[in-house]
Structure 1
Amino acid sequence: MKWFSRQKIKNKYPRRSLLLLAASACLLLASGCEGNGNSAQGSTTGSAPAAVSASPAAAQTPAATEAPATPSPAASATPDPISRKLAGMTLEEKIGQMLLVGIQGKTAGAEARKMIAEDKVGGIILYSNNVGNLKELVQLTNALKQSNAGNPAPLFMSVDQEGGKVSRLPDDYATFPSNAAVGSGDNAAAAGTMGELLARAVKSSGFNMDFAPVLDINSNPDNPVIGDRSFGSSAELVTRLGIAEMQGLEREGVIPVVKHYPGHGDTSVDSHLELPVINKTEAQLAELEWLPFQAAIREKADAVMVAHILYPKLDPDKPASLSQVIIGQQLRGQMGYDGVVITDDLTMGAIVKNYSLPAAAVDTVLAGSDILLVAHEYKNEQAVRTALLDSVKNGKISESRIDESVYRILALKAKYQLTDEAVSLPDLAGLNSDIQAWRKPFIRK
């Protein structure tokens, strides 16, 4: 049985009316899928956590000093199904939902199964070193989902499948050209088709989330990490094609994650290795880097990945991914973003060479992040999980702050009707034919 009502949530979840929430709750209760709502810990109430629909200023306040939400009588009388789901979760289950982790090897090993079954992580990311042939990949994604049986919500099964040099799928799939090649065609419809084809490809092997599109503007020719991963050097082009790709992924039922806010296109350092520093002001970012992300927010982007870049003129102490100024005040406050915020991998050199990983985990949650990407090593997942649990228990992070993030996560999983159902070994003939026909204009002779 599905973990959640099969009713499709068509509107952006924090903005739904109480009437729709009440109707959803009725459908859910009628389906018999909902767990007991009486085992909640901490400050969970019968309504959605306040900051999900509260004014952006709430994101600027350190979580430990936030006042508990005061639900309206109507919301308390008819709690929405996501709040009911949240109310039935333990603190450990909530923290687990905020972790999206990498695994070792091409099979679901003991550590991977422990992170899912015991730590109840909310998602998995696979990289090239996890991917064998098509049959091996499908077996892996199915095994990981099977390990999630009995947990509160289905897994985010995620992958970086951009096209060009950032391609994780097996050789069984027809290849996708780089974003730069697609950008040279200056065709938003083609970018939208690209999103649809990417979604069909990743979905066929068991994924439901793609870390794409790239909304970085390739404004620095010396950039070692973006380059042809960007649609181009024009904000207008990147915005138009990036939004089209995002919407194409959405149409095919795969969650797009736009990246890398506030913009990685002007860096001269690879954040996988070191911490990039950009000495731009807020006004300068607003004139270029922010434009594609602001457009994505207007188009109700489901998820935004935040980069590990230090902006000393905005926050001299913490990179964007850990900064209350950049996430809380700017992204959530000024831009009004109320969707899911995901960090870039916290085990990258930009973080671990300059900050304590446990402290970084706490800082990013206080700043307003919902999902912490911990892409490498079981010990790192353990350190992050322990740091978050301890921070709630010692009062540095309030449980109501955790509830805000988990509400957003559960709502996103519900919106896309995620399940842990196994996928069959796909026949790729039709998909590969479609990819090959679409890519012809972008393949250089």
Structure 2
Amino acid sequence: MFFLLKSLKLLLVIATLLFACIFRTPFAAGLRGWTFGLILFISLGIIASELITWKGERTKTKLIIQFLVVAIASSGFFIATGTEARFNWIKHSVLNTEIIRLENLGRHFVVGYRNFDEVRELVSKRAIGGVFITARNVQNKTKDEIKQEIQTLQTIRQGQGLPPLWIATDQEGGMISRLSPPLTLLPQLSSLIDSAAIDRSKDEVVNYAKTHGSELAEVGVNLNFAPVVDLNKGVISPNDKFSQIYQRAISTDANIITKVASWYCQTLEEYGVRCTLKHFPGLGRVETDTHLEDAELQTPVEELAREDWIPFRTLMSDTQSLTMLSHAKLVAVDPEHPTSFSKSVVTGILRDDWNYNGILITDDFSMGAVYRSKDGLRNATVKAINAGVDLVLISYDKDLYYEAMDALLKADLRNELEQQALEESRRRLETIS
């Protein structure tokens, strides 16, 4: 019985230790509210129970097992408390930074949230430039309730004399419809398309876009992370758990994508809602999922320019859309860095070669392709801003915002932020607001 009980305790403390090591990673973002307390409760409970029963006749083997249980439980406790203390210190430091510095660097962040009071505090401190809302923020709420929360944030912003916040969401239609319900759930945009006679589809696309545009504007959303203009190459891979571009792309034909996306974006703009072209340089050929791991786009630039980049380049000129940068590596240009913080791609191709002066926003920096990259979140954030990115999106795990902002603040103190890039980005953001 002794050995069975100790074996169960040993398994429990090992599991607790593992959770202590990962509870502050994006993987555990949805569990974090109670995980930390549970780790402490289990660790301290087991340590106390072992110390209470320490006395008495014990064989050497029993003492070794008992010591091992206490040691592992203690490790879990100290790792968890140390990790949590570090996070809270960084959060405290960021929130107590002088307002002007928070405003200057905070304009570059669009942040998701799980607690409305926390995002309201960030807005009050001028620490962010935008807010991402998704299903967890609107669950069981009416349109009026959502509108009221958004208006609360915009009223704070207006009182500060600053441009309106970006209020962003993912409302593509079909499988990615984060605000449905209460907004109308529409099918994938691709389902409306008659590829043989594309112009006949215009009215349907425009009416579709009117529903999106009017409903998003009604609740206060001014930025939609749609449409997907990646070329559908029919890539279906067991390594792609979440992106699944083959289900979300408009078409296999770049010219059809360009037409449909143009109708869609121009219609949304009539309602004061901007589109986001995603995910440059294109995920249609990528077989791994940037949500979870590193991904590479191996296609030569010349081939991408002939096909995949036609919608991006045309729409970046003809609409007021933002462009979202994916975390796939464009291997032919920069095999070391994801596009989202690659200076060779952002500055070299988009800013210099294409002379693009619109807003560039990253895909979510909570994703594994960034968080688990060799640069890590902190270096990736600094490199993105220095590369000419305007907005860094941190939507799934909002706690990463504090780490990313801390990295920018420290880089600024060390004169590691390129002032020309910051100034040019400031002008772009102020011009488009």
Tell whether the structures are fold-level matches, with TM greater than 0.5.
Answer: yes
Q: Does 1:412 align with 2:432?
A: yes
1:150 to 159, 169, 173: 159
Q: How many angstroms does 1:182 deviate by?
A: 2.0
One-letter amino acid of the structure 2 residue matched with residue 209 of structure 1: L
Q: Which residue of 2 aligns with 1:33?
A: none
Q: Indicate the residue corresponding to 2:371 in structure 1.
A: 352
User: How far apart are residue 334 of structure 1 and its match?
Assistant: 1.6
Measure how far apart 1:401 and its partner are: 2.3
Pairing 1:121–2:128 present? yes
Residue of structure 2 in register with 1:379 after alignment:
399
Q: Which amino acid aligns with 1:167?
A: S
- Change over 3 Å in CA distance of 1:334–1:191 after alignment to 2: farther
1:376-413 Cα distance to aligned partner (Å, 9 max, x none): 33431111112112222211113342121122112111
Using the TM superposition, name which of 393-402 and 267-276 deviates more.
393-402
Q: Does the 8 Å contact 1:279/1:312 carry over to 2?
A: yes
2:104 equivalent in structure 1: 94
Other structure's SS at 2:173 match: coil
The Cα RMSD (Å) is: 1.9
The corresponding residue for 2:210 is: 196
Counterpart for residue 370 of structure 1: 390
Deviation track 1:207-249 (CA, whole Å, cap 9, x = no partner) reads: 1111111111111331642122111111111111111111111
Q: Does 1:334 align with 2:343?
A: no
- Where 2:114 maps in the other structure, the secondary structure is coil
Secondary structure in structure 2 of the residue aligned to 1:197: helix
Q: After the TM superposition, which residues 55-70 of structure 1 pair with which residues of structure 2 at under 5 Å, given as runs?
A: none
Residue 167 in structure 1 maps to residue 177 in structure 2 = yes
Does the CA-based 8 Å contact 2:265-2:321 persist in structure 1?
A: no
The 8 Å contact of residues 103 and 125 in structure 1, kept in 2 or not, is answered as yes
1:170 deviates by 3.8
The whole-number CA distance in structure 2 between the counterparts of 1:283 and 1:302 is: 24
Secondary structure (helix, strand or coil) at the match of 1:336 reads coil
Residue identity opposite 2:415 in structure 1: G
Structure 2 gap ranges (5+): 1-98
**1:298 and 2:313 are equivalent in the alignment:** no
Q: Percent identity?
A: 27
Please name the residue that 2:138 is paired with: 131
For 2:207 and 2:127, locate their aligned partners in 1 and report how far apart those are by CA, in whole Å.
35
Does 1:216 pair with 2:230? yes
Per chain length, whose mean CA-contact separation is higher, i.e. which structure has more relative contact order (CA < 8 Å, sep 6+)? 1
Query: Which residue identity does 2:106 align to in structure 1?
Result: G
Q: Does structure 2 retain, via aligned residues, the 8 Å contact 1:321–1:364?
A: yes
Residue deviations 1:16-36, cap 9 Å, x none?
A: xxxxxxxxxxxxxxxxxxxxx
**Cα deviation code 1:73-110 (max 9, x no counterpart):** xxxxxxxxxxxxxxxx93321211111100105xx22x
The CA distance in 1 between the partners of 2:113 and 2:174, in whole Å, is 24
Partners of 2:102 and 2:125 within 8 A in 1: no
Distance 2:230 2:126 in 1: 34
Comparing 386-395 and 179-188, the one that deviates more: 179-188
- Which secondary structure does the structure 2 equivalent of 1:162 belong to? strand
Worse-superposed segment, 138-147 or 322-331:
138-147
- State whether structure 2 residue 409 is matched by structure 1 residue 389: yes
1:343-367 CA distances to partner (integer Å, 9 max, x unpaired)? Answer: 1111111111113111000111111
Cα distance, 1:146 vs structure 2? 3.7
Q: How far apart in 2 are the matches of 1:378 and 1:163? A: 24
1:268 aligned to which of 265, 268, 287: 287
1:236 aligned onto 2:247: no
Instruction: Please give the TM-score of this superposition, normalised by the length of structure 2.
Output: 0.71
For 2:172 and 2:123, locate their aligned partners in 1 and report how far apart those are by CA, in whole Å: 26
Give CA deviations for 1:318-348 in whole Å, capped at 9, x if unaligned.
0111111111111112222111110111111
Residue equivalent to 2:273: 254
Q: Deviations over 1:289-343 (max 9, x none)?
A: 1111011123044311100001222101101111111111111122221111101
**TM, length-normalised to structure 1:** 0.69
Retained in 1: the 8 A contact 2:113–2:398? yes
Equivalent residue, structure 2, for 1:86: none
1:402 is matched with: 422
What is the distance in 2 between the residues matched to 1:357 and 1:221?
29
Whose radius of gyration is greater, 1 or 2?
Answer: 2
From 164, 173, 193, the equivalent of 1:183 is 193
> Distance in 2 between the 1:275 and 1:117 partners?
36
Partner residue in 1 for 2:264: 245
Is residue 99–residue 374 contact of structure 1 (8 Å, CA) maintained in 2? yes
Aligned to 2:131, what secondary structure does the other structure show?
Answer: strand
Q: Is the 8 A contact 1:192 1:246 kept in 2?
A: no
The SS at the match of 1:100 is strand
